[in-house]
Structure 1
Amino acid sequence: MPATAPPQPLLKRLPPGAWTGLVWCASTLFTLLTTFRLPGEMEPAQWPAAQLYRWDGLTFLALSTVMAVQGGRLLHRRPLLAVTLTIFAGLFETSTLGVGELPMAQYLTTMVVLYFVAAGHARRTALIALALAVSTLIVYISVRMLRDWAVGTSAELAVALVTVIVWLLGNSAHQSRVHAERLSAEHATQAVTAERLRIAREMHDTIAHSIGIIALQAGAASRVAATRPEEALAAMRAVEHEGRETLAGLRRMLVALRAADEGRDPDLAPAGLADVDRLAATTTAAGVRVEVLRLGETRQLPPDIDLSAFRIVQESVTNVVRHAGTRACRVTLDYRDEDELALEITDDGLGRGSSTDTGFGLAGMRERVALLHGEFTAAPRPEGGFRVTARLPLPVAVR
């Protein structure tokens, strides 16, 4: 049975608007509970104001609830308006309590909205939202002091401090997300660069082999040109064919890169689709069964296409072993109508690929296919699992 993906954390499963509504309901319930004498208390933590349960108090409660819910709905599209609405919701509800400050419970919804604004929006928007939240507390206290009303300055300072801390937490989450995205982009760039260097090393081996053949055939032709012209002509035709194949490979690569670091990597030995069966047997012995299906007429491919096709299959199978969490996958090699080679690697695992693993992952495969003027896709399958496909056009000589 294929493994199932682990569930997301609760904070990510619920949208910010839902969290806003839940926090508002919880804070309102907490406020109402404080007006009753709970078990173990000699008296209620807060004596209810006269208007709390009257029609006017219930009207203000309903109105503030509507504003809080609407603020949660506008959080993604209009964050500053969402903060403003939740601030007014807290003010309206506080007006029915008969207290000298904006209590922590009534400002908790604003704090939650402020966290999501700081975590998910630009720094300028987040700073404006923080200024709105803190300035509201300052204005509220200042108005009550100017009118000589009772003021809970210490409690309001605590609310302001918690508001700033919540904003800092949201800003930290925003910076962590931006840093992770930047690292992911850098890893993708490094993967493409490393894959280009790897391709350059492989092309060096292929071209060196072709030039060696050209030199041998040209030398043979020069020695027998006068005595055996037919053999000289055949040798020169071989030189022409090998030269055209080499130039075609270079044009498909489209890039001449600097030499890679010195030293030989054992994994860089010449390989091709003929080694797919060996790869399948090795992977099957390691615990993941690989089924290889060949369609069409198998034929000899240019070295660069043969090698790149094998690397794509190899990397895809490696990703299945490391990331898919499944026991089987299928590799399909389709030689279509003598003008292209189609590759497909599918599994029924977790539906995840990799872009930064040791074998350069999806970014490297996409780069290989692009250099060969092909088409590449990699995505989860609707029915479950993951699919990698590549279409590689074949040169005219192979057709």
Structure 2
Amino acid sequence: MRNTPDGLRAWLHRHPLIPDAVLAGMLAAAAVPCAYAPSLAGFDAPAGLREPGALSLALTLAGCLSTALRRSRPFAMLFLVVLAEVTLASLDQSGSLLWVAALVLVYTVAAHRGLALSLCALALSLTCRALLAVTVTGPADRTAHLFVAVLTMTLWIAGRGARLRRAYLAELRERAARTERARESDTRAARAEERSRIARELHDVVAHHVSVMTVQASAARRVLATNPDGAREALSAIEEMGRTAMAEMRNIVGVLRTDAAPAERSPQPGVQEIPTLVDQMREAGLRTQLWIEAEGGPLPPGVDLAAYRLVQEALTNSLRHAGPRARAWVTVRQGPGELAVQVEDDGRGAEPPAPATDRTGHGLVGIRERVALYGGILRIGPRPEGGFEVNARFPLKDV
């Protein structure tokens, strides 16, 4: 135990029987002389008061020592004290300091027990005071009992106030704990959402660039012997695509850095970068046409990025599955209150197009999550005239 007031207070709080036993011992030690000199206890000696005997001393000591158990059984100890006072009064013996023990126990019941039991304790103590007032004849003694009754009411009110204050402080601590738990839960949810977002971004970047690099490498291998210049251009495109992929991945995972000075990150791509994306797909061998019709102000950053990733994933799937001589069309229309993004391909080529179920992998699942996140509508599936289609509509409430 630390030798400080706070440490001593905490130790006594953990061992309440020790201070209660000390209080009971002091009260019992003071009650014995007061039994022989009632004026020391605050009362004048009434006429006919007998000299205390062994029974009266035993009852007095038992009542005073009962306060040692005031934390565990306060109402039972109060009943014992009241019974001792009434018994001593019936024997014309002095109650000594039993009224002090009764005050202590009334306060304890009010401060540590419920309202119903504390009201019973108050009623029991006041009834005892009324009975004792009836047994005395002098006005001074009646005044003294009235004074004790007022003290009883005062201490009962103080005990109830202390109990309500403790309950209020406990509620504040519980509310603070709930707030802290909710904050930690929100933090975990935000981290999980951020991890999910980073996973989607990494998938889109890696799937797109690796698919383009694979197509370019396959083309370079086929023309390596007959067209070295063409193979060299394809290899240069692969090198440039690899650098671009690495740069984008560094930008994405840069948010995971924990050092004090993270690297600066370039803005996330959006609709304005779609022409560059279409040029990359053309270089990879996918004949792509682009139409952009923009009306209104700038797009919200989240919708802007989602539209770019949608076009990127859809063109990557067309490059991988639509066939070597397929064509693709990209249409982006920004109208009042809505952004429409459509990517189509004809799926015609020397090789038969892959089934539609093979073209809805994890990337398009991520696209569904992006579109749903911003309250959009998404359609993914085959076109009636052949080929494949990805069609999304984003509401633009803030534009």
- Quickly name the TM-score band, shorter chain normalised: 0.3 to 0.5
Structure with the largest fraction of helix: 2
For the pair shown, the structure with the greater C-alpha radius of gyration is: 2
TM-score (norm. length: structure 1): 0.44
* Larger relative contact order (Cα-Cα within 8 Å, sequence gap ≥ 6): 1
